[in-house]
Chains A and B, each alone.
Chain A
Amino acid sequence: MKVKAKLKGDVVKVKVLAEHVNAGPEEAEKKKIEPNFIKSVIAKANGKVVFEVSGSGFISKNPQFTFTFKGAKKGDEVEVTWTDIKGNTKSKKKAIK
Chain B
Amino acid sequence: MDRRKFLGLGLAAAALVPATTLNAIDFRDTKPDTWKAVSTADAIKGLYGDITPLEEGVNVKAPKLAENGGAIPVKIKSDIQAKSVALFQDANPRSAVAVFTVSEGQPIDYTLKIKMRKTGKITVIVEGTNGKFYSKVLPIEVSIGGCGG
List residues of A whose CB falls within 8 A of some B CB. Answer: 11, 23-24, 26-31, 39-40, 42, 48-61, 63-71, 85
Contact = CB atoms under 8 A, between A and B. Distances in A.
A49 B116 CA distance: 30
B23 A59 contact: no
Contact of B26 (A40, A51, A57, A60): A40
In terms of DSSP, what is the predominant structure of the interface of chain A? strand
B17 to A, nearest CB: 13
Nearest to B22: A49
B106 interface: yes
A26 B93 contact: yes
B114 A69 contact: no
Interface stretch (B6-14, B57-65, B94-102): B94-102
A57 B116 CA distance: 11
B4 to A, nearest CB: 24
